[in-house]
C-alpha cells in the first residue's frame, strides 16, 4: 500500500473522490447485507422522496493518523446514535449501531491510502448518509432507503486555518422551536444556503443564528456549536433544543473539566451578554475549534478581547488537548477512540 500522491498540506474542505464506498439498501422492511462498491454514481427515480421532499440525513466524522502511525476514529458510536435519532425524526428506518460502526471501519480501511499522514494538517472526512429512494408523490415517507458511507481527505473548514474569523448576526432563522434543528437533516442545511451565500457576499465567514422564537438567545452557526470563555476562564456553551448536539462540543466540555480543570456551564446564552466574553470558538468535526474574533451585529462590532487577531489562550489549550487526544499523544477517556486496522 502506498499513500496517494496528494498535496495534503494544501487541502481545503472539499470533495475528492476516493476508491470505495459502502452501500446498503432497505426494502420490504429490512436492510440488506451491504457491500463495498467502486461506483460513486447513484441512479434513483425522478420522484424519489429525497428529491421531492428532502428525506435525507447525514453524519460527519473523521479518521486521523496518530503519531505512532495508527488510524483511528473519534467517538463514532455517538455519530451512530445521533443518526438513529435523525432517522426516527424523519420517519426513516434507523441503521443499526453495530452495522454503522462496521460500515465506517470498512470504508476507512478500503480507502487507507487516502488517510492523510500524521502532521500534515489534513484528515479523512467520513460522510455516512441515508435517503428515501423510491418514488413518492403524496407527502409521506419512502418505503425504500439507501444508507451509504463515503470518505474524502480534507483540510481546514475555514480558509486560513486557525486565524480568528468574523461572523455576523443572521436575520434568517435556521431552526424552529420543536422543529428539526437538533437532528442532522439535509433540510436544515438547505435552509442555511441563502444565508451563508449572503454572509459571504457581505464579507463574513459564517452566520450566528439566534433562537427563532425570541431572537434574544445565541443558537449556533450553520455547521458548528459555540463555546465562549468568560474573564475568569469559565467555559459557557448555549443550551437549546433546536441546536445540533455537537459531539466535538460535548467532548470539549469533558476536556475542559477533566483535562484542564476549567468550570463549564451549559445554559441559555443571551446575545446581550456576549460582549462580556473574552474568547469565542466554533466547534464541530469540520471546524474542530475555530476561533471567532468578531461578531458583527448590523454594523456594531463585538470583539473578543483575548482572541481578536490570534486564537486566544483558552481556545488554544482546548484545541491542543482535543487534537492531542485525537492524534494519540494524549490518553483518551475510555471508549473515545476506535482503531481501524489495515
From residue 286 to residue 305, what is the string marking binding to ligand COI with x (rule CB under 6 A)? x-------------------
From residue 231 to residue 270, what is the string marking binding to ligand COI with x (rule CB under 6 A)? ----------------------------------------
What is the rounded CA–CA span in Å between residue 311 and residue 116?
A: 25
- β-pairing verdict for 123-132 and 61-65: antiparallel
Determine which residue in the list 284, 291, 293, 312 makes contact with ligand COI, applying CB under 6 A.
284
The smaller minimum CB distance to ligand PLP, of residues 136 and 287, is found at 287
Are 311 and 162 contacting, i.e. CB atoms less than 8 angstroms apart?
yes
- What one-character DSSP code corresponds to residue 185? B
Q: How far is the CB of 275 from ligand COI (least distance, A)?
A: 27
Q: Could you say which of ligand PLP, ligand COI, none residue 244 binds, taking C-beta under 5 to 8 angstroms by partner kind? A: ligand PLP
C-alpha cell at position 215:
431572537
Stretch that binds ligand COI, among 89-97, 166-174, 225-233, 281-289 (CB under 6 A): 281-289
What is the rounded CA–CA span in Å between residue 50 and residue 279?
A: 40
Under rule CB under 6 A, how many of the chain's residues touch ligand COI? Answer: 5
Q: Could you say which of ligand COI, ligand PLP, none residue 132 binds, taking C-beta under 5 to 8 angstroms by partner kind? A: none
- What one-character DSSP code corresponds to residue 208? E
C-alpha cell at position 194:
441563502
Contact positions toward ligand PLP, by CB under 6 A?
Answer: 60, 220, 223-225, 244, 246-249, 284-285
Which residue is listed with cell 480558509? 159
Q: Could you say which of ligand COI, ligand PLP, none residue 225 binds, taking C-beta under 5 to 8 angstroms by partner kind? A: ligand PLP
The smaller minimum CB distance to ligand COI, of residues 251 and 306, is found at 251
From residue 35 to residue 64, what is the string marking binding to ligand COI with x (rule CB under 6 A)? -------------------------x----
C-alpha cell at position 326:
485525537
User: Which is catalytic among the residues 20, 62, 184, 217?
Assistant: 184
What is the rounded CA–CA span in Å between residue 193 and residue 222?
A: 9
Are 161 and 121 contacting, i.e. CB atoms less than 8 angstroms apart?
yes
Q: Could you say which of ligand PLP, ligand COI, none residue 319 binds, taking C-beta under 5 to 8 angstroms by partner kind? A: none
Please report, in angstroms and rounded to a whole number, the separation of the first and last CA atoms in the chain.
10
Q: Could you say which of ligand PLP, ligand COI, none residue 220 binds, taking C-beta under 5 to 8 angstroms by partner kind? A: ligand PLP
What is the rounded CA–CA span in Å between residue 99 and residue 107?
A: 12
Assess 285 for contact with ligand COI (CB under 6 A).
yes
DSSP 9-71: GG--S-----S-EEEEEEETTEE---EEES-------TTBHHHHH--EEE--EEEEE-TTS-E
- Known catalytic membership, residue 217: no
The smaller minimum CB distance to ligand PLP, of residues 60 and 324, is found at 60
The smaller minimum CB distance to ligand PLP, of residues 136 and 243, is found at 243
What is the rounded CA–CA span in Å between residue 289 and residue 281?
A: 6
C-alpha cell at position 93:
428506518
Identify residues 59-98 at the interface with ligand COI (CB under 6 A).
60
Q: How far is the CB of 238 from ligand COI (least distance, A)?
A: 17
Q: How far is the CB of 303 from ligand COI (least distance, A)?
A: 25
* Chain Cα centroid distance, residue 156: 12
Binding residues for ligand COI (CB under 6 A): 60, 223, 284-286
Residues involved in catalysis:
184
Amino acid at each position: 500500500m502506498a499513500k496517494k500522491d496528494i498535496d495534503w498540506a494544501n487541502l481545503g474542505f472539499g470533495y475528492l473522490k476516493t476508491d470505495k464506498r459502502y452501500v446498503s439498501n432497505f426494502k420490504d422492511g429490512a436492510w440488506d447485507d451491504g457491500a463495498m462498491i467502486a461506483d460513486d454514481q447513484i441512479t434513483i427515480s425522478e420522484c424519489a422522496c429525497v428529491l421531492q421532499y428532502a428525506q435525507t440525513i447525514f453524519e460527519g466524522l473523521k479518521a486521523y493518523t496518530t503519531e505512532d502511525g495508527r488510524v483511528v476514529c473519534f467517538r463514532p458510536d455517538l455519530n451512530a446514535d445521533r443518526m438513529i435519532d435523525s432517522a426516527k425524526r424523519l420517519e426513516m428506518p434507523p441503521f443499526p449501531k453495530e452495522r454503522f460502526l462496521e460500515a465506517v471501519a470498512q470504508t476507512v480501511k478500503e480507502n487507507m491510502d487516502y488517510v492523510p499522514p500524521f502532521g500534515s494538517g489534513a484528515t479523512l472526512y467520513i460522510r455516512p448518509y441515508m435517503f428515501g429512494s423510491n418514488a413518492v408523490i403524496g407527502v409521506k415517507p419512502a418505503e425504500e432507503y439507501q444508507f451509504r458511507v463515503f470518505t474524502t481527505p480534507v483540510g481546514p473548514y475555514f480558509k486560513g486555518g486557525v486565524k480568528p474569523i468574523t461572523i455576523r448576526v443572521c436575520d434568517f432563522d435556521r431552526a424552529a422551536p420543536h422543529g428539526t434543528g437538533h437532528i442532522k437533516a439535509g433540510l436544515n442545511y438547505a435552509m442555511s444556503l441563502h444565508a451563508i451565500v449572503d454572509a459571504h457576499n457581505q464579507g463574513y465567514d459564517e452566520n450566528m443564528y439566534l433562537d427563532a422564537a425570541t431572537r434574544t438567545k445565541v443558537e449556533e452557526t450553520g455547521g458548528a456549536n459555540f463555546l465562549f470563555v468568560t474573564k475568569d476562564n469559565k467555559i459557557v456553551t448555549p443550551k437549546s433544543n433546536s441546536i445540533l448536539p455537537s459531539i466535538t462540543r460535548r467532548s470539549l466540555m469533558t476536556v475542559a473539566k477533566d483535562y484542564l480543570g476549567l468550570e463549564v456551564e451549559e445554559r441559555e446564552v443571551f446575545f446581550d451578554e456576549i460582549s462580556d466574553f473574552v474568547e469565542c470558538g466554533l466547534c464541530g468535526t469540520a471546524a474542530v475549534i475555530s476561533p471567532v474574533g468578531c461578531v458583527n451585529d448590523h454594523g456594531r462590532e463585538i470583539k473578543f478581547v483575548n482572541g481578536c487577531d490570534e486564537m486566544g489562550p483558552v481556545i488554544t489549550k482546548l484545541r491542543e488537548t482535543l487534537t492531542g487526544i485525537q492524534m494519540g499523544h494524549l490518553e483518551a477517556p475510555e471508549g473515545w477512540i476506535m482503531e481501524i486496522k489495515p
